[in-house]
Amino acid sequence: MTRFAIEARGLSKQYRGVRALDGLDLDVPTGAVCGFLGPNGAGKTTTMKIIMGLVRPTAGHVFVLGHEVQRAGPSARARIGYLPQDPVFPAHHTIRGLVSYSARFYPGCPRGRALRRRVDGLIERVGLDDKARRHVAALSGGERQRLGVAQALIADPDLVILDEPSAGLDPAGRRAMLELIASLSGDTTVFYSTHILDDVERVSDSVVMINRGAVVAQGPLTSILEATGQDYVVGLRGANDGLRATIEAQPWVETVTVRARGALEEWRIRVSDRSAADRQLVSMLTENGRHAIAEYHLADRRLEDAYLDLVGSGNDG
């Protein structure tokens, strides 16, 4: 088994003067549930289409489960399940018919009764069992999304690639989708794109962030959160002449923001080195006895904070 289910090196894609991908390097660990984040137009769907062989890169290589996509052709997709963005399926099939039909493309997929059992199991798993005979053309967007997941899983793939799987789902559907993704963890590598950061925090163990066609951060979720800085929240009483400048001058301090909160001043100190901050910050704050610390704690670092730091706010690719 390869260490990484997906490896991309120097991936670039140009569309008539528009650089959709710009030297993207990507590593998705085998067995991980990896969230793929980025603003609109960052290159997420383009990356996924290149991985699936639907689009050819202008430069670079991508390996999926040990196969180089450009060379291996259909073999590279034999162990992959894929849900495209805004999925469209042949309209003449029923839900059950489409999932069964999807199985026929894969060698080694069960046939006959075993296939029927698997199809029924998947349809039930995605919550469409009461609509199994409905035609695809009559499905809502959310139902098509769920059908898309079912057809992606029919061949029991080693890698599942989902492009915006929660799009169009109501809250209950979204929760069910997240549970499904979480249930795949371990046996199957899941690589999915989303705009919903809460979802990534809930089910992902690794994250890739992309902006303007290049990866800006990737790795285990905890590492991403730590690497992008920690915020100490301090409530101070007393004059702070020069204290702010002293703290800002420290090499392990990134930013200091101060706002009034009643009788206190609330300081939010972003640090890049937590151990240095733990050793020095309190003593600096209370030096000379001019200040009293009414509050001192480490702020919960959210993925949203890290995302905005790395990608920027309103910074559409």
Partner 1 sequence: MTADTHPARVALAGTRGAWRGEVGRWLGWRGLIHLALWLAVIGWILSVTVTTKHMPFGGLGFESLMNMLAVFPPLAGIVLTAAAVCGGYHDGTTAWVLSKPVPRPGYLLSVVSGIWLGLSVTAIVVPAAVAYVWLPRVEPYRFVTPEAPPLGRFVLALAILSMVLLFFVSLTAFLSVVIRRRSVAALLAALALLMLRVPVAYPGWYDALPARLIRTDLEPGEWSVLTAFIHGDSFDALTAVWGALGLIAVFALFTSWVFRRLEL
- Binding residues (CB under 8 A) for partner 1: these are 49, 52-56, 67, 72-75, 77-79, 82, 84, 86-90, 92, 101-102, 104-109, 155-158
| Residue closer to partner 1 (CB basis): 73 or 186 | 73
Say how far apart CA 277 and CA 280 lie, in whole Å. Answer: 5
- Nearest partner of 6 among 47, 57, 40, 56, judged by Cα: 47
Read off the amino acid at residue 172. Answer: A
Dihedral sign from CA coordinates of 13, 16, 19, 22: positive
Residue 22 CA from chain centroid, whole number: 19
Alpha helices in 252-302 (DSSP H): 274-285
| Residue closer to partner 1 (CB basis): 77 or 146 | 77
Q: Smallest gap, in angstroms, from Cβ of residue 5 to partner 1?
A: 14
Q: Smallest gap, in angstroms, from Cβ of residue 84 to partner 1?
A: 7
The DSSP bridge partners found for residue 210 are: 215
Q: Smallest gap, in angstroms, from Cβ of residue 167 to partner 1?
A: 15
Q: Smallest gap, in angstroms, from Cβ of residue 77 to partner 1?
A: 4
The SS3 of residue 264 is: strand
Q: Smallest gap, in angstroms, from Cβ of residue 145 to partner 1?
A: 14
Residue 277 CA from chain centroid, whole number: 30
| Residue closer to partner 1 (CB basis): 41 or 110 | 110
The SS3 of residue 199 is: helix
| Residue closer to partner 1 (CB basis): 74 or 262 | 74
Say how far apart CA 231 and CA 48 lie, in whole Å. Answer: 34
Going along 135-247, which residue ranges are E strands?
159-163, 189-193, 206-211, 214-220, 230-237
Q: Smallest gap, in angstroms, from Cβ of residue 88 to partner 1?
A: 4
Dihedral sign from CA coordinates of 36, 39, 45, 50: negative
Q: Smallest gap, in angstroms, from Cβ of residue 190 to partner 1?
A: 16
